[in-house]
A and B are shown apart, each in its own frame.
Chain A
Amino acid sequence: MNDTNTNQGGAPAMGVRIRELALGGQTDRALYNAQLERLLKVNNARRTLSTYEDGDQHWLDRADVEGDGSASLIDRGGFHMVAMSRETVKLSWQGAVDQSGSVAMHMLIDLSSNIDHNLYISLDGDKQRSLRVSNKSLTWVETASVVHLEDRLVFITLVRSPTRVSIYVNGSLKLRKKIDGELKSDRLELNLLGHESADLGALIHGLDVWSLEGEFTGLEHAASGTLQDELNNIIESGDLTEVCDFLATFDDIDLAPVSDKLVGLLDNSLKVIKGFPDWGVDQILSALPEETSAAWRKRHADDLPVPSVKVENVTIRLFKNPAKKWAPQNLIRFRKAPTFDAVSRVSFNVYPGDILGIIGANGAGKSTLLKAINGLVPIQEGAISLYAKPLLLSPGLGIRDELSGSENIRLACCFMGMSTKEADALYPSIVEFSELGEFINQPYKFYSDGMKSRLVFSIATAVAPDIIMLDELLNAGDIGFQQKAARRMEETIDRAKAVIIVTHSVPFVLNRCNKALLLHHGRQMVYGSPHAAVARYLDILRIGDLKKTTEFIAATG
C-alpha cells in the first residue's frame, strides 16, 4: 500500500483536536495556536505570517489592501473582508511566502457569511494556481479539483511544495495533486471578487503562513482512518459521481485494494434506470489496472446502455460576417469569407434518464451546439446520432399579434412539429395552465405582457418529446405564476427520456444535472462531474482563460 495513504502517526491528535474545535464552533485564538505550535515543532517549520502569534495589528499593518471593498479587524483576532456588489478587495502580504522551499498556510474561516464562490487564496501571486473557497466547497483552480464542505466553521490547511499541493480540511487530508513549478512570488494574496447579485463577506478568524524545510506532517490523512477507508465509505454509498470527485482530488491513491468494490460500483451503474454516467465509468476504468478495465469492458460489451444522443468530435464552423459571404465584391475576387470554429471537437453522450447541463460564458458555443444537435446548424467534422426524437423547447414560436390566444396555440404547436390532432388534444391543458380563461379568444396583441408570457410558457412546456433540449430554463409571469411555472418546468424535465439544457444556473447544474459539459471559446473544457464543470466555469468567469485540463475519454464500448 502506498505509504502516503496511511496515517503517519506523528501527532494525529492535533488533527483530531483541530476538528473538535472547528466542529464545536470554537474560534478562540489561543486554542488553535496551541495546536499550531505543536505542529510547528513536528515540522520544524518557521512562521512567516501569523494572526495567532502576532496579535491583532501587526500582521494587518504589513498587508497591502487594494480594491474598492474593505478589510477590517474583528474582535478576538482575524479580519473581515467585505465586497458590496461588484466591489473587490485584495489583501496581500509581501514576504509572507518563503520561495526557497515548501510553504503551509492555515486558515480558520467562518462560512456562515456569504462568500459565494468568490474567495481566492494564492501563495504565489498566480490566480490560476490558487485555492478558491466557496460556502460549500474548496477548489484547487489549476486542476479544477473540488472538495465538498459540510461545516460552517472550517479550518483549512494548504501545503504547497514545488511538486505537490495538499489541502486539509479540519485536520483531514482532502486533496493531494501533483503540480509542476516553483513559487513565482513571495506574496500571499487573498482576493474577494464581488459580483452584481450579492454582497459578500469573508470572515477569517485566523491565518498562519509557514516556511517548511521538509515534507509537511502531523495532520491526519483521512477523517476515518486511511484514504482507502474513506474511499470505501464513499464507494459503499453508491454515488459514482462522489467517487469520481474523490478520485479527482488525489493523484497517487492506490486503487488496487478497492478495485473489486469499484468494479461492483461500475456494474451497479449499468442497473440504474435513470441515466448512465459514462464519463465516471471511463474515469474509474482508466484509474483501474489495465487488465481489470479491459475485462470489465469485455464482460459488458453487449449490455452497455444505448445513448439517446451521441456527439462525436463535432466541429462547427461559422462565418464571421455571414451578410457579406455572397457580396459581389467577394465573389468577383474569389475571396473566401473568414470563418471561426464556434465549436471545436466536442464529444459527449446523453443516455435515457440523463440530464446534461451545458455551461460556459457568453459566446462559448453552447447554443450553437444545441442547434447543431437539432440539425439546425451544419457541422464540419464529426457526427451526431440521435436515437429518439428531439425537440428544442422555444417560447413564442411563430406567434402572430393579430390572432387570438387559441389560434396562436394551434399555430405554435404546429411549428413545434405537432399535428393538428395532437395540438387539439393538448389545447385544454394549455388554456388551463395559462390561466387566460375567456381571454383566450381575444387577439394576442391586446394581452398584457404577463398574459403573453404565461401563454407562450404554457405552450412551450405542454409537449412531451423524448429528448428535451432547452436554451435556458423557461419561466414566466408574476411571482405566483413563476412558482407554478418552475414546477411545470421540473415536471417537463422529469417527463422526458433525456434532457440537454444550456444554462447559466449553477444551482440547477449542481442539483439537477447528473453530468455537465463546460465549453470555453468552443472548446470542451470539462465533460463529466457537474462539480468539476461548475468549478472550472466559475474560475473562467472570475479569472478568465484557463488551460484545458480534462479530455473526453471515448465513450464506454
Chain B
Amino acid sequence: MDKSLYKKITPQGSTYAPLTWEESKRTLASEWSKIRLIVQSEMKSKVFEKALGVFFLAIEPIFMAFVYFFLTQILMRGNLPSGQFLNIYIAVVFWRWLAKTVDGSPVTFASYSSVLKQTNFSVFSLILAYIGVEFAMFLVALMVLFLFATMMGYPPHPSYVYLVFPMMAQLSIMMFLTVLFATAGAFVRDLAGGVNVITGIWFYLSPGIYPVERIPEQYLTYYYLNPFAHILPAYRAIILRHELPPLWPLILITVIGLLCSLGALKLLGRARRHFFSFI
C-alpha cells in the first residue's frame, strides 16, 4: 500500500496505512477514553438523570426474585431448600446481567444509527461501551445483593475474589452473544423479540429458580452442556458457602467464550460496511 495513502476503499473493503507502535498506542488510549466517555454519558442519561433510575436498578431484581420465589412456593408446595429466596435472588441478579445485555444487543447499532451512518466511529468501541454500560448497571444491583445478603446473615467474605472466575466465564459468553446478536440485529431489525424468547427459555433451562439436584440424573450430562448449569451454582457456592467452585468448567467456558467472541468480532468487522443500508 502506498505510504502516503490514508485509506483505500475497494469492493473487498477498506484498508488503512499501517500504524506505527506509537500511533497504535495513541489510538488505543483514545478509544479507551471514548468508551469511558460513552459509558459515563449513557449512565447519566439512562440512570442518574431519571427519577427512578438507581432505585429501579436496585429494586427490580428483588422484585423479580419475589415473583419467582412465590411461583416456586406454589409449584413445589413449599418443598424447597432453606435459603431459597437468596438462592433465587443471586441467580436473578447475575442472570439479569446476561439477559439485559443480550436482549438489548440487537438494537445497539440501530440506537447509534446516526453516528454509524455519518462517521467511521469504531463499532468495536460502541459494542464495548454498550457492554460497559450494562456492566455498570449490573454493579448497582450487585451492591444491593451484597447488602441484602449481609442483612440475611451472609456478610462479605474474602472468598468473594473467587467471583472473578464465574464472572469471567459469564462475560465471555455475553460478549460472544452480544456481538453476534448486535451484528445480526443491524440487518434484521425485529430480531430483538426472538432473542427475548431465547433468553427467557434459557433461564428456565438453567438452575436459577431450582437447584441442579432437581434434574433427573439421566438428563444431567445434557444439562451440564448449559454453561449456566456451572456458572449459577458457582455464584451461590461463593456467596453463600464461601467455597471455591469447580474451576475447570468455568475456565473451559471462558476459553470457548473468548474464542467465539473473537470470531464474532471478526464477523462484526466484516459486516460493518454493510450497515448503511440496514440500520
Contacts and interface: CB of A to CB of B under 8 A. Distances in A.
25 contacts: A306-B4, A319-B277, A322-B277, A371-B118, A374-B118, A374-B119, A379-B10, A383-B10, A385-B2, A385-B5, A385-B7, A385-B8, A387-B6, A397-B114, A397-B115, A397-B118, A398-B112, A398-B114, A402-B44, A402-B49, A410-B41, A414-B34, A419-B30, A419-B33, A420-B33
A553 B112 CA distance: 40
Q: Which of B4, B13, B14, B116 has the most CB of A within 10 A?
A: B14
Interface residues of A, number: 46
Nearest to A397: B115
Contact of B14 (A306, A326, A375, A396): A375
Given A411-B38, A411-B41, A414-B37, A379 B11 contact: yes
A389 interface: yes
Interface residues of B, number: 42
Nearest to A419: B30
Interface of B: 2, 4-11, 13-14, 29-30, 33-34, 37-38, 41-42, 44-46, 49-50, 112, 114-121, 187-189, 273-278
A172 B276 CA distance: 53
Interface string A353-385: 000000000000000000111111111111111
A397 B277 contact: no
B5 A387 contact: yes
B41 A403 contact: yes
A397 B5 contact: no
A372 B114 contact: no
Nearest to B122: A417
A386 B115 contact: no
A384 B277 CA distance: 19
Interface of A: 306, 318-319, 322-323, 325-326, 371-389, 391-392, 394, 396-398, 400-403, 407, 410-411, 414-417, 419-420, 443
Contacts of A306: 4
A165 B112 CA distance: 56
B38 A394 contact: no
A386 B273 contact: no
* A-B CB proximity, top 10 nearest: A394-B118, A402-B49, A384-B9, A419-B30, A402-B45, A322-B277, A386-B7, A377-B276, A420-B33, A400-B45
B38 A375 contact: no
Contacts of B8: 383-386
A401 B44 CA distance: 11
A388 B13 CA distance: 18
Contact of A415 (B4, B50, B121, B278): B121
B257 to A, nearest CB: 26
A428 B164 CA distance: 43
B207 to A, nearest CB: 33
Contact of B120 (A381, A383, A417): A417
Q: Which of B50, B117, B118 has the most CB of A within 10 A?
A: B118
B274 A392 contact: no
B188 A397 contact: no
A288 B119 CA distance: 43
Given A400-B41, A419-B30, A381 B121 contact: no
A381 B273 contact: no
Given A402-B44, A407-B44, A417-B121, A379 B9 contact: yes
Contacts of B275: 376
A375 B276 CA distance: 10
Contacts of B49: 402-403, 443
Contacts of A375: 7, 9, 14, 120, 273
Given A383-B10, A386-B8, A402-B45, 16 more contacts: A376-B275, A378-B13, A378-B276, A381-B11, A382-B11, A383-B9, A384-B8, A384-B9, A385-B8, A394-B114, A397-B118, A402-B44, A402-B46, A403-B45, A415-B119, A419-B33
Contacts of B274: 378
Contact of A380 (B4, B11, B119): B11
Nearest to B129: A414
Contacts of A400: 41-42, 45
A306 B45 CA distance: 46
A212 B27 CA distance: 74
Given A402-B44, A415-B115, A376 B10 contact: no
